[in-house]
Chain A
Amino acid sequence: MKVRFWGVRGAFAMSGREFLRYGGNTPCVELVTDDGQRLAIDLGTGATELAKSLMGTELGKGKGELHVLLSHTHLDHIQGLPFFTPFFLEGNHISIHGVDPAGTSLEATLQNQLAPHYSPLGGLENLGAHVSVETFQPGHRLVLGPFKISTAPVPHATMWTTSFRIEADRKVVTFLSDVEYPDPLAPDPAAVALAMGADLLIHDAMHPDEEYDLRRGWGHSPVSAAITVAEAAMVKRLALFHHSPDATDDQIDRVVALAQARTKIPLFAAAEGAYLDV
């Protein structure tokens, strides 16, 4: 299995010279099995770049299928949806999987994003592709083609986001973004179980530890929380993810160096760019 980060930035897309090495797009991650089957996680602005790459596949001919997992529907995780070109080609089948937000449905939320006030698309029914929105209860398991997925709800300020443990090709990738544990330095049992033994853990690390006190309660993790889960779950590799919009490339370099000095778990900061072997 390979993984590619198309968007690694939290909250807000950042353009400019200081953000070129790690990238300024908001969250979008692609997983590809050895035989070329794909899964996308979240549709932040990174999805507009993923879309360009997918146009070279069957999805570019209107003959493709794709499953998309949504961790939640905060804007930075869906703002690329109206510009995800595979949606516009008739014949494509794209299914979006997620949990209903409190008090509403996932489908109503995405419809609202495309409502005529906000988008000329007007609604999901106007997308050329066949788009289905499929919801599940947090904690349920999903099988999407070759991907076997366990899910768990994790706390994100006033709400819950969905985290994923994804198995394919006998490898495991765990996606734990937009999470703030009640005690960031105590290993959260649900998170640890989801990440146990993973080949790659992608974890929210929006705040450098020294800035965390100012941002407590905002729903994101300090770098140490990511390391705590990674160590308790004995993962093989940790990707720090969901970088603060204000973190420049040089600042992220420093965060990584400090984090590496603190743990024996191999770790790096997720960056837009090449396919990585899991």
Chain B
Amino acid sequence: MEITFWGVRGSYPVPGPQTVRYGGQTSCVEVRSSEGGCLVVDAGTGLRALGQKLAREGGGAPGRYHILLSHVHWDHIQGLPFFEPAYIPGTTISVYALLTAADELQQVIGGITRHEFFPVPLEAAPAHFQYHEVEPGVRMTLGEFMVLPIALNHPFGAVGYRIDCDGTSVAYVSDTAPFTDVLHKQHFLRGLETLSEDDRRTLDQIRADLVKALSRCDTVIYDTHFLPDEYARFPHYGHSTPDQALEICVEAGVRRLVLYHHAPGHGDDLMDKIAKEYAEKGEALGIEVVTSFEGMAMVIGGAP
């Protein structure tokens, strides 16, 4: 397998001189099997450039695409209306997501192109969209890929995915808070809320299931939006720090951790510092730590 990062930023796209090297587009990762099979994880603004590449490769011929969504916050779906293959007749695009509310996925995901928001509704796009609900813990086979959805700890819910293929594995764990604080709630959070015993048990279970799902995984892409001092101020936002990612990945026996979903305010120079600091921390813990940047390609499973 090989993966390519098309968007590594969280929250919103950030143009400008501070993001030239690490990139300004939001969440989107391309996963390729050695046979050329393709999975897309998240449809943030990075999806636009990926779609241009896929349409070019396909030479305008209809294609079959699978897009796994972690959740449907704007920074993870905003690229969908700009995905060039959606405008190629005969193309089928299957979108996989967690049903986090009573509404149908089609209504929620298609709703981003209501006429108030976008000139062309996705339903009117020439490609055929299919929507599939995923369930944490229930495996799916998508072409050559075995995909396991994993429950995460984010307001209104999110899922990660472990993808096994070519005898190796990569996992996408974004967006998620650590498993100590109140979250995973279905209402607006002004700040931290007191955990009930039930909440604690739920969070413990989510954490245990995550560690188990990531067990011996080759490469894990993890939401490391915050530095520790930022996390302390915004623990209810639903994101983690690199230290919290390290804790989970070391416990799961992961070979390599990729820092991802960078805060919009983290400019290139700060990202360099974060990359260096956590590469060293990882080395001391026996795990490779890589900081993702837009355009970064990575072979999964080490050297062939």
Contacts and interface: CB of A to CB of B under 8 A. Distances in A.
Contact of B15 (A15, A73, A112, A117): A15
A104 B73 contact: no
Interface in A63-84: 73-75, 79-80, 82-83
B73 A120 contact: yes
Query: Which of A16, A45, A112, A218 lies at the interface centre, i.e. has the most chain B CB atoms within 10 A of its CB?
Result: A16
Interface stretch (B110-118, B138-146, B214-222, B242-250): B110-118
Interface residues of A, number: 46
Contact of A75 (B15, B78, B156, B238): B78
A126 B236 CA distance: 14
B129 interface: no
Contact of A117 (B13, B72, B78, B118): B72
Interface stretch (B17-25, B56-64, B198-206, B276-284): B17-25
A245 B72 CA distance: 24
Nearest to A120: B155
Interface in B25-56: 25, 45, 48
Contact of B82 (A12, A23, A45, A112): A12
Contacts of A20: 16-17, 20
Contacts of B78: 75, 79
Interface stretch (B86-94, B100-108, B166-174, B224-232): B100-108
A154 to B, nearest CB: 15
Contacts of A74: 116-119
B131 interface: no
Contacts of B14: 13, 15, 45, 48
A120 B183 CA distance: 11
A15 B156 contact: no
B238 A120 contact: yes
Interface string A214-243: 000011000000000000000000000000
A118 B48 contact: no
A38 B294 CA distance: 36
A117 B12 contact: no
Interface in B124-181: 155-156
A112 B110 CA distance: 13
B20 A101 contact: no
B188 A24 contact: no
20 contacts: A11-B82, A19-B15, A24-B13, A45-B12, A45-B14, A73-B116, A79-B12, A82-B12, A82-B74, A83-B12, A109-B116, A109-B117, A116-B156, A116-B188, A117-B72, A117-B108, A117-B111, A118-B112, A120-B189, A123-B188
Given A24-B15, A118-B77, 15 more contacts: A13-B12, A14-B15, A15-B13, A15-B294, A24-B13, A45-B12, A74-B116, A80-B12, A116-B100, A116-B188, A117-B73, A117-B101, A158-B115, A159-B119, A272-B16
